[in-house]
A and B are shown apart, each in its own frame.
Chain A
Amino acid sequence: MSAQPQIKLTEAENALLMAYTEQVGDLPGNGDVLVARDRLITDIKTKGLPTRRVEAWHYTDMRNLLRQVPANNDGDVSAIEPLISGSAVFSLSNGKVERKAKAEGVSVRGIEAMLEDGTGAFLMSPRGDDDAIGRINGGFLRDGLEIAVADGAALAEPIELQVLHSGGQSHARFVVTVGAGASARLIERQQGNGSSAALVSSVSELTLKAGADVTWVIVQEQGVTDTHLGQINFRLEKDAKLRLFIVNAGGKLVRQEVHGVTVGEGSDFTFRVINLLGGESHTDVTMTLGHDVPETTSTEIVRNVVFDKASGVFQGQIRVAPDAQKTDARMACNTLLLSEEADFSTKPELEIFADDVQCAHGATVADIDRNHLYYLMARGIPEKKARALLVQAFVAEVVEELDDEPLVEALEDVIEGWLERHGN
C-alpha cells in the first residue's frame, strides 16, 4: 500500500475497509479486476466518504450519516412474488445471482464470470472523483447480470430484477442493453428480510439503442435500519424513449443517483420519483442529465411526502450542450411536508450552453389542504383515513400517468401499504 491515510477514518469507514480485507479473498476477478478493486478501496481509505464539502454530496453528508457498516451475513433470503404476475424474474440474494428466468428475445450473462475472465474489468471504473457509490459497489462487487434485449424484440411480460438480502451486505450490478426498436419493461425491486441492518449498493448501466422504448421502475423498500446506495447510468440513442420511475418507500439512509445522457436526436427521458419518507430516515435522489445533441426532450417530476423527522433531498442537474438546440426540459419538485420536523431540500441546476432551448424548473411545498380534509371528513371519513387518501391523491397523478394498468395497480398497492404503516 503506497497511499497513506490523509484523514482520521470514521468507525463506518474503518468497518468498510475491514470488510474489504475480510472479503477480498473470495471476491471474484482476474488480476486486472483485483488491481482495480484495490484502487477503489484505496480511494476511500485516503479520502474518506464524501462530506458536505463535496458539492454533489452537500445535502447528504455520507461521512457523518453512515454510522455503521454491517458485516457480511449469508442468511436465508425469502423469495418474493413479482409485482406483476407473469414477469420474467431474475433474483440476487445477498449479492449473488439466485434465479434466472428464460424469456424470448432476452440473453443473459452472469457478472461473476465476467469478473473472473476479466471482460468485466470495465465495471471497475468510477464515474468521477465524487462517485462514492461506484467505489463501494465496484470494490465489493460479487455478481450481477448482463441482460441484452434483442433488436426489435417487444417483450410482452416485464423483466423483474429482485435484489434481495437478509441484512449484512449486498452489492449488485446490472448491465442492460435494449436493442434497436425493442421495447421492454423492467422492474427493479430492492428489499430485504433481515432483522439486522444492511448496506446495499446496486449499480445499473443501461443503453437504449435507436428507437428502443423502455420503462424502468425502481421500487425501493429497504428496512428501517438499512443503507441503500443506488445508481443508474443510461445512454439514449436516436429516438430512444426511457421512462424511469422511482418509488422510495424504505431505508434509513438512501441515496439514489441517476446519471443520463441523450446521445441521439429525438430521444426522450421521462423521470418520475415518489419519495415516501418517514421516521428518522434520510433520502437523497440526485439526477444529472446531459442533453448532448439537438432535439432531445425530458420531463422530471418528483413528488415527496415527508412525515415525522424524515429528511429528503432532490438534486436535479440538466446540462444542455452548446450545439444541443431545440432541447426541451421541464423539471418539477413538489413536496407535502406533514410534520414540523420534516424537511426537504431541492436543488435544481440548469447549465445551458445552447441558445434555442426551452428549460424550466419549479418547486412547491405544501401541507394537506384543510378544505379537502374538511370535505372528506364531512362525509364520515375519519381524519387519519382522510389524510391518507389526500396523500395518496398527491402522488396518484404521477402513477396513473404510467398508463399501464397492472403496473399502476401494483405501485398503488406499494404506496397504500406504506401509508398504512406510516400514516400519522
Chain B
Amino acid sequence: MLEIRNLHARIAEDGTEIIRGLNLTVKAGEVAAIMGPNGSGKSTLSYILSGREDYEVTEGDILYNGESILELDPAERAAKGIFLAFQYPVEIPGVATMQFLKVALNEQRKQRGEAELTTPDFMKRVKDAAAHLKIAPEMLRRPLNVGFSGGEKKRAEILQMALLEPKLCVLDETDSGLDIDALKIVSDGVNALRSPDRAVIVITHYQRLLEHIVPDTVHVLYKGQIIKSGDKSLALELEANGYADVIEAAA
C-alpha cells in the first residue's frame, strides 16, 4: 500500500535536512509502529506523508498504491484515503465542528466522484461514531477543537478518521496527553478500523500505546532513517533497554 523509497526531505524555509534516505514499506492490513527518540524525524515523516508544504522532498519517492503522491496537495492525498491524526490538532475559531465534518466528508466524496451525503445520513453517521468514542454532542456544537481538552482533541481526530474511512491512517503521537481511560477509548476506536484493506502507521515514543494497538511491525527511526525493523517484540526491547543499543548497533 505504501512504499517509501530512499526519501530525503528538508525544511523548505531553512533547508535543514530531516529525512535522510528513509525506506519503508507498509502493506494493506498492516499496523506498523514507528518509534524513535526525540528529533529523529517522526512528526516530519507524518507531515510529509500528508503533503504539508513546509517540507521539500529532495530525493526519493513515496508510492501509494503504486503511484507517486509527491505532486499531490494535502486535499488530494486525503481524498485518495491518506489520513493524518495530528499530534497537535489545530483550533479553528469560527468554523463549527459539524459544518467542518460535513464539508470534509462531502468534499472527499466529490473528489472521488461519489454522491454527497444527505443531512439525515450524515447526522446518523456522526452520532453513531461519536457515541463509540464517548464524545458528547455539546462538543460537536463548539467551533473546531476550540476549548477542547487534550484528550477531547485526540478523540475528535479519531472521530474524523472513523467518518472519513481512510485507507492509510497515520497516527502521530496520538497517545500524548491521554490518561488511561482516554487511551483505551482512542485505541478501541483505532482497532475498530483495522481491516484487511486498511493500513495504520502508529508513531509513538512509548510502548504503552502499543499494548492497546498491537502492531504487526515495529520500525526504529533515527536521524531520518529506519535503522532497525522487527515485530512487536522490538518495541518491548526498546522499552526495556532504550534506544542506545539499537543506535549503536546501526552505527
Seen from chain A, the residues whose Cβ lies within 8 Å of a Cβ on chain B are: 371-372, 374-383, 385-386, 389-390, 392-397
Partner of A377, one of B75, B86, B100, B143: B75
Given known pairs A374-B53, A385-B103, A389-B103, the reply for A379 and B94 (CB within 8 Å) is: no
Q: Is the CB of B111 within 8 A of A382?
A: yes
Q: Sort A-B residue pairs by CB-CB distance and give the 4 closest, nearest first.
A: A393-B94, A380-B78, A380-B108, A377-B74
Measured CA separation A118–B17 after assembly (Å)? 81
Q: Is the CB of B51 within 8 A of A378?
A: yes
Q: Is the CB of B107 within 8 A of A374?
A: no
Given known pairs A375-B86, A376-B100, the reply for A381 and B92 (CB within 8 Å) is: no
Measured CA separation A344–B94 after assembly (Å)? 22
Q: Is the CB of A390 within 8 A of B92?
A: yes
Measured CA separation A125–B89 after assembly (Å)? 58
Subset of 20 A-B contacts with CB under 8 Å: A375-B86, A376-B92, A377-B78, A378-B50, A378-B51, A378-B75, A378-B77, A378-B78, A379-B75, A379-B100, A379-B104, A379-B108, A380-B108, A380-B111, A381-B75, A381-B107, A382-B107, A385-B103, A393-B143, A395-B94
Answer yes or no: B95 CB below 8 A from chain A CBs: yes
From residue B190, how far is it (CB to closest CB) to chain A in Å? 17
Smallest Cβ-Cβ distance to B92: which chain A residue: A372
Within 8 A of A (CB), among B32-91: 50-53, 73-75, 77-79, 84, 86, 89-90
Answer yes or no: B93 CB below 8 A from chain A CBs: yes
Answer yes or no: B204 CB below 8 A from chain A CBs: no
Measured CA separation A295–B84 after assembly (Å)? 53
Contact residues in A for B93 (Cβ distance below 8 Å)? 393, 397
Q: Is the CB of A379 within 8 A of B164?
A: yes
Measured CA separation A381–B164 after assembly (Å)? 12
Partner of B107, one of A385, A390, A394: A385
Query: Which of A374, A378, A381, A382 gathers the greatest number of chain B CB atoms within 10 Å?
Result: A378
Q: Is the CB of A394 within 8 A of B94?
A: yes
Given known pairs A385-B107, A389-B103, the reply for A380 and B94 (CB within 8 Å) is: no
Contact residues in A for B51 (Cβ distance below 8 Å)? 377-378
Q: Is the CB of A377 within 8 A of B90?
A: no
Smallest Cβ-Cβ distance to B143: which chain A residue: A393
From residue A415, how far is it (CB to closest CB) to chain B in Å? 12
Seen from chain B, the residues whose Cβ lies within 8 Å of a Cβ on chain A are: 50-53, 73-75, 77-79, 84, 86, 89-90, 92-95, 99-100, 103-104, 107-108, 111, 143, 160, 164
Contact residues in B for A380 (Cβ distance below 8 Å)? 75, 78-79, 104, 107-108, 111, 164
Smallest Cβ-Cβ distance to A394: which chain B residue: B94
Contact residues in B for A377 (Cβ distance below 8 Å)? 51, 73-75, 78
Q: Is the CB of B95 within 8 A of A382?
A: no
From residue A207, how far is it (CB to closest CB) to chain B in Å? 35
Measured CA separation A378–B75 after assembly (Å)? 5
Measured CA separation A287–B41 after assembly (Å)? 53
Q: Is the CB of B94 within 8 A of A397?
A: yes
Q: Is the CB of B52 within 8 A of A374?
A: yes
Partner of B92, one of A378, A385, A393, A395: A393
Q: Is the CB of A378 within 8 A of B94?
A: no
Smallest Cβ-Cβ distance to B103: which chain A residue: A381
Contact residues in B for A383 (Cβ distance below 8 Å)? 73, 75
Measured CA separation A135–B249 after assembly (Å)? 87
Contact residues in B for A375 (Cβ distance below 8 Å)? 86, 89-90, 92
Measured CA separation A276–B133 after assembly (Å)? 40
Contact residues in B for A385 (Cβ distance below 8 Å)? 103, 107
Contact residues in B for A396 (Cβ distance below 8 Å)? 94-95
Measured CA separation A396–B92 after assembly (Å)? 12
From residue B83, how far is it (CB to closest CB) to chain A in Å? 8
Smallest Cβ-Cβ distance to B50: which chain A residue: A378
Given known pairs A382-B107, A382-B111, A385-B107, the reply for A393 and B95 (CB within 8 Å) is: yes
From residue B165, how far is it (CB to closest CB) to chain A in Å? 11
Measured CA separation A392–B92 after assembly (Å)? 11
Contact residues in A for B77 (Cβ distance below 8 Å)? 378
Contact residues in A for B103 (Cβ distance below 8 Å)? 381, 385, 389
Contact residues in B for A397 (Cβ distance below 8 Å)? 93-94
Measured CA separation A376–B92 after assembly (Å)? 9
Measured CA separation A377–B79 after assembly (Å)? 10
From residue B61, how far is it (CB to closest CB) to chain A in Å? 20
Query: Which of A376, A380, A389 gathers the greatest number of chain B CB atoms within 10 Å?
Result: A380
From residue A416, how far is it (CB to closest CB) to chain B in Å? 11
Measured CA separation A374–B108 after assembly (Å)? 15
Smallest Cβ-Cβ distance to A393: which chain B residue: B94
Q: Is the CB of A372 within 8 A of B79?
A: no
From residue A411, how far is it (CB to closest CB) to chain B in Å? 14
Contact residues in A for B108 (Cβ distance below 8 Å)? 379-380
Q: Is the CB of B95 within 8 A of A389?
A: yes
From residue A402, how far is it (CB to closest CB) to chain B in Å? 14
Query: Which of A371, A389, A394 gathers the greatest number of chain B CB atoms within 10 Å?
Result: A389
From residue A273, how far is it (CB to closest CB) to chain B in Å? 17
Partner of A378, one of B74, B95, B111: B74
From residue B56, how far is it (CB to closest CB) to chain A in Å? 15
Contact residues in B for A389 (Cβ distance below 8 Å)? 95, 99-100, 103
Measured CA separation A381–B100 after assembly (Å)? 9
